[in-house]
């Protein structure tokens, strides 16, 4: 597919060229065998999946889930071309509904799960999707833009000031959440905020000038927050991980790559909770809590990308990879 050009003439990423993050580490920790059933819950451009498919071979089965039809189309073509011998089944949907998706796939269990969270490079780079604070585009930010669900413009123009503050504070960890929310409400009273450019301006105006000069792009945290709200990213993550652990076969592994602390905290807590046995006080004669560990945490500390990878692919800088094994 031809490269898209933005208004400054810079060449954007061609459709679904997305460099897989921590590929070596993922393959090593999943430790796949011929014949395994693998579920990639965030298929994207199939960057990880083509390699996993090669490892499980003709007797294996690769399931690929994505809610973005553009990603599925690109991944399907790539898998047919680069891993034609491995059976694969692609499923359109949200990994928050993993139970239904896996029932559709009619598999008894899964040997390995991968979650590579967030959005892919092409999703950020295509201005029409409204994810980027570098391009002026309609405020959308839905990963699945085929469904008639709440988009970013509706969040920005209809949420109360208190709700906007909560979203910016909890999902963006934005110190100036209240000031930014006030500025959004003030501006939208005159005219609706319809584009990413208008949102960037409102966010900038809400942050004190001195604070605007450090810590990266001033709208980064707010855009992250709105995106999480629009796509319910944290709720679906928790649901998806819980379901994945249930579907994992004994000895099977789950690997999660997250890109910000809110996601990483959810993964870390869930792995810890599910790996804990009895939590009764030691002086109780018998267990009353009934907790039985179902996971073993493989990575006590999250794995991070090598300096070389970060140099080559800046997206890898914030990546944290956690791995657990089903008991």
| Nearest residue (CB) to Zn ion, 108 versus 282 | 282
Q: Rounded to whole angstroms, how far apart are CA atoms 292 and 274?
A: 8
* Residue 307 found at the interface with Zn ion (CB under 5 A): no
Q: Rounded to whole angstroms, how far apart are CA atoms 68 and 115?
A: 15
At closest approach, how far in Å is the CB of 273 from Zn ion?
14
Q: Rounded to whole angstroms, how far apart are CA atoms 302 and 268?
A: 9
Residue 289 interface partner, choices Zn ion, ligand SAM, none, CB cut-off 5-8 Å depending on type: Zn ion
Q: Rounded to whole angstroms, how far apart are CA atoms 220 and 223?
A: 5
User: What letter would DSSP give residue 10?
Assistant: P
Q: What are the angstrom distances between the C-alpha of 94 and each of 11, 141, 211?
A: 31, 15, 37
* Residue 292 found at the interface with Zn ion (CB under 5 A): no
On whether the CB atoms of residues 115 and 42 are closer than 8 A, the answer is yes
* Residue 289 found at the interface with Zn ion (CB under 5 A): yes
Residue 287 interface partner, choices Zn ion, ligand SAM, none, CB cut-off 5-8 Å depending on type: Zn ion
* Residue 280 found at the interface with Zn ion (CB under 5 A): yes
Count of residues in contact with Zn ion, rule CB under 5 A: 4
Q: Single out the residue of 54, 150, 178, 278 in contact with Zn ion (rule: CB under 5 A).
A: 278
Which residues contact ligand SAM by CB under 6 A?
A: 18, 20, 42, 44-48, 65-68, 71, 94-96, 116, 118-120, 143, 236
Contacts (CB under 5 A) with Zn ion, residues 222-241: none
Strand order in the sheet with 61-66: 88-92, 61-66, 37-40, 110-116, 248-258, 320-326, 295-297
Q: How do strand 37-40 and strand 110-116 relate by DSSP bridges? A: parallel
At closest approach, how far in Å is the CB of 279 from ligand SAM?
30
Region of 98-106, 117-125, 236-244, 271-279 interacting with Zn ion (CB under 5 A): 271-279
User: What letter would DSSP give residue 24?
Assistant: H
Q: Where on the chain is the footprint of Zn ion (CB under 5 A)?
A: 278, 280, 287, 289
């Amino acid at each position: 597919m031809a490269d898209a050009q933005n208004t400054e003439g810079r060449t954007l990423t061609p459709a679904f060229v997305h460099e897989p993050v921590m590929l070596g580490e993922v393959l090593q920790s999943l430790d796949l065998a011929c014949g395994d059933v693998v579920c990639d819950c965030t298929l994207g451009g199939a960057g990880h999946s083509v390699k996993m498919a090669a490892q499980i071979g003709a007797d294996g089965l690769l399931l690929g889930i994505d809610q973005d039809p553009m990603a599925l189309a690109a991944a399907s073509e790539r898998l047919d071309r680069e891993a034609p011998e491995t059976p694969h089944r692609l499923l359109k949907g949200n990994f928050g509904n993993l139970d239904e998706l896996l029932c559709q796939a009619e598999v008894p269990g899964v040997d390995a799960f991968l979650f590579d969270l967030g959005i892919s490079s092409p999703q950020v780079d295509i201005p029409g999707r409204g994810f980027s604070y570098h391009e002026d585009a309609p405020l959308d930010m839905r990963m699945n833009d085929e469904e008639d669900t709440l988009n970013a413009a509706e969040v920005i123009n209809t949420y109360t000031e208190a709700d906007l503050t909560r979203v910016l504070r909890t999902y963006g960890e934005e110190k100036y959440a209240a000031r930014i929310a006030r500025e959004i409400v003030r501006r939208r009273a005159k005219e609706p905020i319809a584009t990413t450019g208008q949102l960037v301006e409102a966010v900038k105006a809400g942050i004190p000038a001195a604070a605007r000069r450090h810590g990266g792009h001033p709208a980064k945290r707010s855009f992250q927050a709105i995106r999480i709200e629009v796509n319910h990213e944290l709720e679906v993550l928790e649901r998806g991980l819980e379901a994945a652990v249930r579907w994992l076969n004994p000895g099977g592994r789950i690997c999660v790559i997250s890109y910000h602390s809110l996601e990483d905290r959810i993964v870390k807590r869930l792995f810890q909770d599910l790996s804990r046995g009895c939590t009764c006080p030691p002086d109780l004669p018998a267990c009353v809590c009934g907790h039985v560990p179902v996971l073993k945490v493989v990575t006590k500390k999250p794995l991070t990308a090598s300096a070389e990878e970060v140099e080559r692919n800046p997206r890898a800088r914030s990546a944290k990879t956690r791995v657990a094994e089903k008991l």
